[in-house]
Amino acid sequence: MRKSVLAAATAALVLAPAAAAQAKDGKRFAATITRTTYGIPHIKASTWAGVGYGVAYAYAEDNLCLLAEEFATIAGERSKHWGPEGTATLGFDTVDNLSSDVFFRSAIDLPALREGTSRQPARVQQLMEGYIAGYNRFLKDAGPDGVPAECRGKPWVRPITADDMLRMNEKQMLLASSLALAPAIANAAPPGSPAPKVAITMPDPKELGMGSNGWAFGGESTANGRGMVIGNPHFPWKGPNRFWQMHITGPGGYDVMGVGLAGNPMPALGFNKDIAWTHTVTEARHFTLFQLILDPADPTRYIVDGKSEAMTSQAITVPMPEGRPAVTRTLYSSRFGPVFIVPARGIAWTAQSAFAMRDANRGNQRGIEAWLRIGEAKNVGEVKAAVSETLGIPWVNTIAADRYGDALHADVTAVPNVSAEKAKACATPFSGLFAEFAILLDGSKASCDWDIAPGTPVPGLMPASDQAATIVRSWLTNSNDSYWISNPAFPHRQLSPVLGKYASPLSLRTRSNFTETTALLAAGKLDHVRAEAFAFANKSYAADLALTKLLALCSGAEGAAARGCAVLAKWDGRFEKDSRGARLFRSLWQSIDTSKTAWAVPFDPANPVTTPGDFKTEGEAGAKLLATLATVVTTFEKQGIALDAPWGDQQQVMAGNEAIPIHGGPGSLGVLNMQESDRAANGRLVPRHGTSYIQIVGFDDKGPVADAILSYAQSTNPASPHAADQTRAYSEKRWNRLPFHPKDIKAAAIGKPKRIAE
């Protein structure tokens, strides 16, 4: 293994065109790693290469098997190692390995990415170079016997090269766009080809497991007149999209603490001495779809402005397990991007038409520099400039506050430059099929392609001036609805539909956010203690809207419905560990009609926080509600689920043989501390996606004051002491005051600092 590690490292250096500065001791790569409470690494380096080196080494110490598997996934090697019939976590969804491999081998254009690397700032190149060296250094230091048991001896645990990091960055840019259509792209074939052997769906981004809450409070809302951020991103508990905490002290005064995903060489959300920021998945669409009118003589040719144009074909070969022949597929692409199919929705490649997608984040290599600039920002104005000038943030809102008391919400990302007028003029008869997912444009007209605005880093992107960014001294928040309202006191003006819905019903979680935030500030100025209680209040807005009326209806209930009513009458309307009846209400709410027809008062765009409202329980609606409750109760009783069991006995995470109770509940029930869970074999609920890294960051005269917790802890290695320590802390609502200043880091250190260099 040692020879292969050195060979890979040498290859990486050849591919990296930017010369990295040497550390003070003359080493090309050098970093010091100090671990504090819960194993959080504080990585100090004098060069950007050293920063990447230390981050990768520390991450591999905690999550080697996860990261090694992800490198195999994005290289299109899952079928080879796990079989084509197995599954992969692709973005926020699960797909078959063969579709995953075909997608990555077709969608990632390595020659273009290699060429694009040379145009990136030198520090970005050096960070990536250092990350490669740090990962490979850990493999060398660990040796075959030091690899965790879960992946020890596996051929996919290997040294990495520059190409692996290019793939990793590209995958993260495409998480909320092309990856959502990966099976649809990987299985697209001309008419007459065999039907796909896998299920293909048209995903809803809000159902892919993406979400989050974020708050920026300005000086008018806080007890000390400085800014404060509450970040509560909702991300998966398992897989490569888990967050990992780190603190980086690097060149030029860079001093940032926060979290990143697998492969991030620096924090993607967090804080420095002057600003704090968080992200939420935006409702903006980062791609558009195009309907192609095909040449009657050849379904792999399409008509643009009356002229026939050939699709580009690409033969993709995927290696299989030893003894099985490789699988080759030919995929096709148009000037508007790759062709895709969703047969279940009637989206097919016929002799007359096909559909293609163009992704604004394909080839987006600007994200790392955007996040580095955010980390260097001294105020929210500089945060806004970072996201606006780079257009490198791929698919998230940026919510920030600074020590001076200003608050920012910027829904500024890499999106297609398509105006409302163009979307309407270029619509096709099929546009309605896609309306909830994306904008469909007429691919038979060149004029329907994205408009080119001067000054954008890539032609066809929407300039930041046409997107939504607001700075105030009161407060701003987002829970994944559109830019329309960040504070009910001042809704935003209407923008392009690419940026999301306008004057449309808000989710229960967004309505809960506005309701609870308004009540929080009405009761007094915000400080850390009140912010912590707010973050973990676990209230259900659905219960606020419906429970009183349901209990009034219960006076006439009999049998199973009456038994359910008796339990719900004692429920506290929350999803705390000791809340009794929470699971019953969860199942009831998920079994009834909560659409617009369920409310007596319809949605009113002039009153979006409280409408739709007045839950219907009269007449037939009430009878159906009680019948549904009776069915849920009967089902629980047959399955041996206690109707009044504490929520913490129902929603749990296993750490070895230890069951850790987890508070929080579904966002669809208006619970801000969101936990979406799946049923396990034993009938209990296991968190799949939800509250992950929670940070509350304010400022004093010295800098940041930050309390945080990572719900699923730092390490995916079951043998690590940091595999579940923060999960227990989350369960008990124990916050960790993050050590940021050198003396605080020294006081909180666990073990001696580790110096690595080469």
**What tens digit of pLDDT does each residue of 585-628 get?**
999 999 998 888 899 999 999 999 999 999 999 999 999 999 99
Instruction: State the span(s) of the chain assigned CATH 2.30.120.10.
Output: 287-359+419-448
What are 51's two structure tokens? 């920063």
**What tens digit of pLDDT does each residue of 471-501 get?**
999 999 999 999 999 999 999 999 999 999 9
Contacts (Cβ under 8 Å, ≥6 apart) of 435: none
- What pLDDT was estimated at residue 257? 99
Asked whether 230 and 478 are in contact (CB, 8 A), the reply is no
In whole angstroms, how far apart are CA 279 and each of 51, 256, 393, 395? 23, 16, 10, 9
Indicate the CATH number for domain 287-359+419-448: 2.30.120.10
Instruction: State the span(s) of the chain assigned CATH 1.10.439.10.
Output: 2-206
At 212, the pLDDT band (50, 70, 90 cuts) reads very high
Indicate the CATH number for domain 541-671: 1.10.1400.10
Whether 19 shows a pLDDT value over 80: the answer reads: no
In whole angstroms, how far apart are CA 364 and each of 131, 181, 197, 361? 19, 18, 32, 5
**What tens digit of pLDDT does each residue of 637-679 get?**
999 999 999 999 999 999 999 999 999 999 999 999 999 999 9
Average pLDDT over residues 718-727: 97
Whether 12 shows a pLDDT value over 70: the answer reads: no
What are 261's two structure tokens? 């995903």
Asked whether 24 and 737 are in contact (CB, 8 A), the reply is no
**How far from the centroid of its chain's Cα atoms is residue 180's Cα?**
12
Does residue 212 have an active-site annotation? yes
At 22, the pLDDT band (50, 70, 90 cuts) reads confident
What pairs with residue 469 in β-bridges?
410
- What pLDDT was estimated at residue 507? 95
- What pLDDT was estimated at residue 433? 82
Interatomic CA distance for residues 548 and 452, integer angstroms: 54
Contacts (Cβ under 8 Å, ≥6 apart) of 716: 62, 63, 65, 66, 238, 242, 723
Interatomic CA distance for residues 278 and 397, integer angstroms: 8
- What pLDDT was estimated at residue 5? 39
- What pLDDT was estimated at residue 204? 60
Residue with tokens 């960055």: 169
Q: Count each helix (H run) and each strand (E run) in the chain, helices first.
A: 21, 32
Interatomic CA distance for residues 560 and 308, integer angstroms: 66
Asked whether 53 and 31 are in contact (CB, 8 A), the reply is yes
Q: How many CB atoms lie within 10 A of CB 452?
A: 11
What are 281's two structure tokens? 């998945």
Question: CA neighbours within 13 Å on the CB side: how many for 507?
Answer: 23
Interatomic CA distance for residues 676 and 689, integer angstroms: 5
Question: CA neighbours within 13 Å on the CB side: how many for 594?
Answer: 18
- What pLDDT was estimated at residue 17? 44
Percent of the chain with pLDDT over 90: 90
**What tens digit of pLDDT does each residue of 684-698 get?**
999 999 999 999 999
Average pLDDT over residues 514-526: 98
Question: CA neighbours within 13 Å on the CB side: how many for 55?
Answer: 33
Terminal CA-CA length for the chain: 18
**What tens digit of pLDDT does each residue of 448-466 get?**
999 999 999 999 999 999 9
Pairing of strands 396-402, 407-411: antiparallel
At 210, the pLDDT band (50, 70, 90 cuts) reads low
Asked whether 443 and 426 are in contact (CB, 8 A), the reply is no
Average pLDDT over residues 117-131: 97
In whole angstroms, how far apart are CA 257 and each of 156, 317, 657? 31, 42, 33
- What pLDDT was estimated at residue 442? 98
Main-chain phi, psi angles of 63, to 5 degrees: -145, 40
Three-state secondary structure call for residue 189: coil
Interatomic CA distance for residues 359 and 105, integer angstroms: 17
- What pLDDT was estimated at residue 392? 98
Whether 3 shows a pLDDT value over 50: the answer reads: no
Residue with tokens 């992950």: 692
Q: What's the burial of 681, exposed, middle or buried (CB within 10 Å: 0-12/13-18/19+)?
A: exposed
Phi-psi domain of 683 (left: phi exceeds 0; alpha: psi -120 through 50; beta: other) = left
- What pLDDT was estimated at residue 187? 96
Residue with tokens 């203690």: 529
Q: 92-106, 132-146, 199-213, 620-634: lowest mean pLDDT where?
A: 199-213
Cis, bond preceding 296 (omega within 30 deg of 0): no
- What pLDDT was estimated at residue 101? 98
Average pLDDT over residues 395-409: 98
**How far from the centroid of its chain's Cα atoms is residue 376's Cα?**
23
Residue with tokens 């110490």: 61
What pairs with residue 94 in β-bridges?
89
* Mean pLDDT, all residues of the chain: 94
Helices 48-74 + 97-107 axis angle, to 10: 130
Instruction: State the span(s) of the chain assigned CATH 1.10.1400.10.
Output: 541-671
Whether 9 shows a pLDDT value over 70: the answer reads: no
Interatomic CA distance for residues 758 and 740, integer angstroms: 27
Contacts (Cβ under 8 Å, ≥6 apart) of 145: 152
Helices 541-553 + 619-639 axis angle, to 10: 100
- What pLDDT was estimated at residue 203? 65
Interatomic CA distance for residues 149 and 63, integer angstroms: 12
The amino acid at 89 = T
What are 224's two structure tokens? 């000390």
Q: 171-185, 194-208, 414-428, 726-740: lowest mean pLDDT where?
A: 194-208
Nearest to 286 by CA among 424, 420, 183, 438: 438
Interatomic CA distance for residues 201 and 186, integer angstroms: 13
Phi-psi domain of 741 (left: phi exceeds 0; alpha: psi -120 through 50; beta: other) = beta
Residue with tokens 């960040």: 486
Contacts (Cβ under 8 Å, ≥6 apart) of 519: none
**pTM for the whole thing?**
0.95
Q: Kindly name the residue from 100, 212, 512, 715 that is annotated as catalytic.
A: 212
Interatomic CA distance for residues 635 and 363, integer angstroms: 50
- What pLDDT was estimated at residue 27? 86
**What tens digit of pLDDT does each residue of 312-351 get?**
999 999 999 999 999 999 999 999 999 999 988 888 999 9
Q: Which CATH number fits domain 2-206: 1.20.1250.20, 3.40.1160.10, 3.30.2350.10, 1.10.439.10?
A: 1.10.439.10
